[in-house]
């Protein structure tokens, strides 16, 4: 599995711990996934929130802050999350290693209800791709 990672100025505190688990590093996580250069990404900033907000602006990117292992695997299994966002000021190196390993080991469930949910999200992206909210 190819994985892209990036760290902002506050995320560098977890760089060594995260890179111990990962093989690849890339600056533009979302675009790397969109281009097929990576299947998943790990993005680290101070809280994880800014990273998640930014990466989710890209079509087809499903990123989330996960500071516990349940969310790290459940986000992949049920929502096909493809970017894990971590906060370097929230988690330490040991938990970061565990979160990244859990995220990478998880597989999308593929169940009908989860696929239907993803299709609804894709439709929202398609309809609102230019930032326009359709009339109700």
Q: Please tell me which residue in 13, 56, 73, 78 is annotated as part of the active site.
A: 78
Q: Please tell me which residue in 45, 66, 73, 85 is annotated as part of the active site.
A: 45
Establish whether 45 is a catalytic residue: yes
Establish whether 9 is a catalytic residue: no
Q: Concatenate the DSSP letters of all residues of 44-108 into one string.
A: EESSSHHHHHHHTTSTT--EEE--SHHHHHHHHHHH---EEEEETTTS-HHHHHHHHHHHHH---
Strand partners, 85: 43, 65
Contact 59, 31 (CB under 8 A): no
Catalytically active residues are: 45, 78
């Amino acid at each position: 599995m190819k994985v892209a990672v990036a760290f902002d100025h506050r995320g560098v505190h977890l760089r060594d711990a995260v890179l111990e688990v990962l093989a690849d590093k890339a600056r533009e996580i979302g675009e790397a996934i969109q281009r097929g250069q990576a299947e998943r990404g790990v993005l680290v900033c101070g809280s994880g929130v800014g990273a998640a907000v930014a990466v989710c602006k890209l079509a087809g990117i499903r990123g989330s802050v996960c500071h516990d292992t349940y969310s790290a695997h459940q986000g992949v299994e049920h929502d096909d999350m493809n970017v894990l966002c971590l906060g370097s000021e929230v988690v330490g190196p040991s938990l970061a290693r565990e979160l990244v390993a859990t995220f990478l080991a998880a597989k999308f469930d593929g169940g009908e209800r989860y696929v239907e949910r993803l299709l609804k999200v894709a439709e929202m992206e398609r309809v609102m791709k230019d930032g326009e909210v359709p009339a109700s």
